[in-house]
Amino acid sequence: MQRFLDKYRRESIDQLDETIELEVNENHVGLDVYNILKRLDTFDQLVLMLRYWKSLDYNEIGEVLKCSRSQASIYVNDALQRCHEVAKQDASLE
């Protein structure tokens, strides 16, 4: 189980990097999002990628992560909160 998640995370993050790099070249806002995501831990990157790049619903995310729908929702919301915190830190530096 852990090996599966580790492999899925590595592949997902590699794919996320490729996707974002393409978008960054076309969109300056993408660069800001990319820089914020890179500052999050791997698990946060994974759950955000599943939700927003793969467009999985919370039930599907729960299946991937082997957790309940409500726990998947908590993971996504917590990752979004950390994303906002990083963005606020960046904004305060300007």
pLDDT tens column, 51-74: 988 899 999 999 999 999 999 999
pLDDT tens per residue across span 3-24: 656 655 566 555 655 555 545 4
Q: What is the 8-class DSSP label of residue 41?
A: -
Calculated CA dihedral for residues 18, 20, 23, 27, nearest 10 degrees: -150
Question: Percent of the chain beyond pLDDT 70?
Answer: 63
**Residue 81 and residue 27 in contact, taking contact as beta carbons nearer than 8 Å:** no
The single-letter code of the amino acid at 52 is Y
Query: Which CATH class name applies to 2-93?
Result: mainly alpha
Select from 20, 38, 41 the least CA-distant residue to 29.
20
State how far the Cα of 76 lies from the Cα of 52, in Å rounded to an integer: 10
Note the pTM of the prediction, 2 decimals. 0.68
Task: Give the model's pLDDT for residue 28.
Answer: 53
**Residue 16 and residue 53 in contact, taking contact as beta carbons nearer than 8 Å:** yes
Task: Give the model's pLDDT for residue 70.
Answer: 97
Task: Give the model's pLDDT for residue 60.
Answer: 95
Task: Give the model's pLDDT for residue 71.
Answer: 97
State how far the Cα of 35 lies from the Cα of 32, in Å rounded to an integer: 5
- Taking only Cα atoms into account, the Rg of the chain, rounded to an integer number of angstroms, comes to 14
